[in-house]
Each structure stands twice: as C-alpha cells, then as structure tokens.
Amino acid sequence: MKLLAKLNLLLIAVFSLGLLLVGVGANRSLQRQAQAQVLHEAGLVSASASAVRQYTEEEVSPLLQKATEHETTFTQQVIPFYAATTTFQKIRKSYPDYTYKEAALNPTNLRDRASDWEADIINHFRDSPADTELIRTREGAAGTSLLMAHPIKVEAGCLQCHSQPSVAPRPLIVSYGSEHGFGWKDGEIVGAQIIAVPISVAEEKARRGLTELLIVVAITFFVALCLIDLGLFYIVIKPLRTIAENANRISQGEMELEQLNPKGKDEVAEVSRSLNRMHTSLQKAMDLLNG
C-alpha cells in the first residue's frame, strides 16, 4: 500500500473518532439549546396571553359589561380567560405544536376545569406562592411534553364575577349557573397558565442542528484532507519518488546521473544529500577500479 494511502487511512480513522466525539458532545449541547429555545418561545406566548388577559380585564371588560348589563345572554368576551385562550388560537398558527390552557380548580366555564395533573401544578403554586414559574416534563399518551406554567392570582376585577353568586352579573348566572366559579378570594391562586409542547419538537430542532454541524465538519475535513494530500505529495511523496528512482538507477550501475538538488533542512533534504554523498563515493570507487 502506498504511503499516501496509509496516511489517508490514518487521517480518516482519526477523523471518524473525532466526529463521533464531536457528535456526542454537540448533541447534548444542542438538545439543551433546543429546549431553551422552545421554552423561550413558550415564554413569549405566555407573556402575550397574560398581556391580553390583563388588557381585557382592565380595558375591555368594563366597557362590555356596561354595554350588555341589560342583556340576559352572557357575553364571553368580558372574561379574561376567554380572551387569552381565543388569542392563543390565533397565535397557534405560528406555533402549531404548542397547546395552551388556563386551568382553574373552580372555573365558571367547566371547559377550564383543571385535570388531575393540572391540579397538581396549581396546588404547587398554592403551596409555594414564591414560585412564579414551573418547568417540568410530563409523560402522556402522545409522548413526552415540555411544560411551562405560571400561577393565576385573583385580582380585584375578578371578584365582580367570582366572589358570590349574589353579586355576579345576572347573565353569567343564567349561562353557567351558580354552583361553580365562586368563592374566590383576593390574591388567591385559583389556576395556572399552562403551555405544553412535545419534547420531540426540541429534539427535532437539535437533530437538524446536529446534522448541519456534522455536514459542515465533514466538508471541512474533506477539504483539509485534499490540502494535506496535496502538500504531502509535493513536500514528501514526489521528492521521495525522485530519490527512490535515482537510488534504483545507481544500484543498476548508472553513475552518470545528475545529482539531486535538495532544498531546506528537513528529513527529505537530508536523505537527498546522503544519496548524493553515496553517489559521489560510488563514482570515486568505480573510477579507482577502472583506473
């Protein structure tokens, strides 16, 4: 096997090992980065929904309640929960994998009632009021999901509808009854804003990033290998071939060869000078024998 082929095999083996190590390390890093990106996007969605809820409570609800106070049908648009959830359905066009729910332990609309695992999150915030955010993973029927949750506290405006049935708007009682959604207290944590996204979304982001990284590394190695081969050919292989050819011709008795012209002080140049000295010595020896 030629020297250049042996060197290429060695470089390919070293590169393959390096690529494996880079892949393992980069995959872990990219997984963390992808999860951080997903959570960042979830945070933006959460902030948008919270802003809509606050705006609805402070600006929209008073106007709608005043405009519909003589109606018998309850207008859902006055409820901040409804506004936030409806707004998310619009936002979801840009984030199709995300789900959003404002879950409550005792909601007016039973659609918003917390499931068992959602109730656990709400109770966590009730037991740890200093916590303003909770991030965890959850195993479900569709696989593992990454969750981001924030507590929902009762504010003064909420008590207009959720304190006691006797003070709640009549249309609300007509639409939802008086058995649930009441008894809330100012400052109490009654629910949680929960955003969920399949962990596969983060894994796919990481997988794409890893693929792109490995392609770039592979291309870089291929270019480097070509440049190394080119350098080796002109710096080592080609001079060695010339040395080998001259040595072979000298060994066959061709003494009138032109001597090599080594440049530099590297090992190849030293071999060339050694061959020249040997060539000169042999010429002198042959001249003595023939003389």
- Rounded-to-integer distance, Cα 217 and Cα 21, Å: 12
Average pLDDT, rounded, for the chain? 81
Instruction: Identify the residue with better confidence: 85 or 151.
Output: 151
Q: Please identify which residue in the block is written with the tokens 């040395």.
A: 243
pLDDT for 164 beyond 80: yes
pLDDT for the residue numbered 228: 87
On whether the CB atoms of residues 213 and 26 are closer than 8 A, the answer is: yes
The share of the chain scoring above pLDDT 70, in percent, equals: 91
Instruction: Please write the tens of the pLDDT for every residue from 212-251.
Output: 888 888 898 889 888 888 888 888 888 888 888 878 877 7
Instruction: Please write the tens of the pLDDT for every residue from 53-77.
Output: 777 776 766 665 555 555 556 666 6
pLDDT for the residue numbered 70: 56
**Cα 117 from chain centroid (whole Å):** 27
- Rounded-to-integer distance, Cα 95 and Cα 251, Å: 78
Instruction: Please write the tens of the pLDDT for every residue from 131-159.
Output: 999 998 888 776 788 888 999 888 877 77
pLDDT for the residue numbered 127: 92
Give the sheet arrangement for strand 99-104, strand by strand: 99-104, 189-198, 143-153, 134-140
| pTM reported for the whole predicted model | 0.62
Residue 38's pLDDT band (boundaries 50, 70, 90)? confident
pLDDT for 178 beyond 80: yes
pLDDT for the residue numbered 121: 93
Got the DSSP string for 234-254? Answer: IIIIHHHHHHHHHHHHHHTT-
